[in-house]
Amino acid sequence: MRTWPTVLAQSWSCQPRFTCSQISSCDEARWYLENCPWGGKLDRDTDGIPCESVC
């Protein structure tokens, strides 16, 4: 499994984002994946990389 560097949450919260188009950066997508209960939805192919369109 790939590990990502720790990212400080700027103003991110676990308020749901339903599509990757609502995510502005790869760091933000990774933060959601690792910290929010719904974050796994951002990694549709379960390869550990969320929102591949921005990562």
pLDDT attached to residue 8: 53
pLDDT attached to residue 11: 73
pLDDT attached to residue 50: 95
2 pLDDT band, cuts 50/70/90, is low
pLDDT in tens, 16-44: 877 899 999 999 999 999 999 999 999 99
26's tokens: 């790869």
pTM: 0.74
How many residues are present in the chain?
55
Phi-psi label, residue 24: left if phi above 0, alpha if psi -120 to 50, beta otherwise: alpha
